[in-house]
Chain A
């Protein structure tokens, strides 16, 4: 079984400050990990994904995440927050195993809402 835990349902940062959104995973085998972003009244958009090629993953909009196996973490960071980063962020995990039914299933965390203060 797989699961993800996002620490903090709401995070507030000042414009220009570091953004750090936390995600810890639980998986019996090496996982594949994703970060998605949801802007207000929109669907989810992929920010970045870890697929075992490199532990530091760079995504869109200046975000990056580092896979740390020893800490079972995949935290999302951005050096300097912009107002446009205000959104809800979701961490997701899937196992490197076929579900047996034709697709890998994603398990999502509960989300972290990021507010950026001017």
Chain B
């Protein structure tokens, strides 16, 4: 079974702090994604990566950056956390099958971040 793990389930940070959210997958997937989930808004894509050191902006990249130094690990960075970044953050991974039928996204359990 594909396993996607996220470093923390719950995180509390203060405004202005630098925050790292880590995601690791064990299926040698090329693609990795970071979403945020907010009530009534569904999931919105922040960034994704299709290879080591490669990244692409999603729909809401402002205030975030990412790092992918190893294939299995994809980090989301909040350079200076703000209260409007309080949210649930979900990581996902998929194969690079060049076919949506193959590229099923597998999700981690999520990190619930509270910024005070």
Q: List, in ascending order, chain A residues with CB within 8 A of B92's CB.
A: 43-44
- Chain B interface (Cβ < 8 Å from any Cβ of A): 4, 9, 30-31, 35, 40-45, 48, 50-51, 54, 56, 58, 90, 92, 94, 96, 98-101, 103-110
B40 to chain A, nearest CB (A): 6
Q: A14 contacts the other chain (Cβ, under 8 Å)?
A: no
Residue ID in chain B nearest A4 by CB atoms:
B42
Give the residue of A90, A94, A108, A111 whose beta carbon is less than 8 angstroms from that of B100. A94
**Contact in complex: A45, B40 (CB < 8 Å):** no
Give the residue of B42, B48, B101, B109 whose beta carbon is less than 8 angstroms from that of A105. B48
- Cα A45 to Cα B104 in complex, Å, equals 10
- Cα A36 to Cα B51 in complex, Å, equals 25
* Sample of 14 further A-B pairs with CB below 8 A, known A46-B104, A102-B56: A43-B92, A94-B100, A96-B100, A98-B98, A101-B50, A101-B56, A102-B54, A103-B31, A103-B96, A105-B45, A106-B45, A108-B42, A109-B42, A110-B42
Q: List, in ascending order, chain B residues with CB within 8 A of A101's CB.
A: 48, 50, 56
Number of interface residues, chain A, beta carbon within 8 A: 28
Q: A84 contacts the other chain (Cβ, under 8 Å)?
A: no
**Contact in complex: A105, B58 (CB < 8 Å):** yes
- Cα A42 to Cα B9 in complex, Å, equals 10
**Contact in complex: A103, B90 (CB < 8 Å):** no
**Contact in complex: B4, A43 (CB < 8 Å):** yes
Residue ID in chain A nearest B110 by CB atoms:
A43
**Contact in complex: A41, B109 (CB < 8 Å):** yes
Q: List, in ascending order, chain A residues with CB within 8 A of B30's CB.
A: 102
**Contact in complex: B100, A51 (CB < 8 Å):** yes
- Cα A102 to Cα B35 in complex, Å, equals 17
Q: A82 contacts the other chain (Cβ, under 8 Å)?
A: no
B24 to chain A, nearest CB (A): 14
Q: List, in ascending order, chain B residues with CB within 8 A of A99's CB.
A: 56
Q: List, in ascending order, chain B residues with CB within 8 A of A104's CB.
A: 100, 103
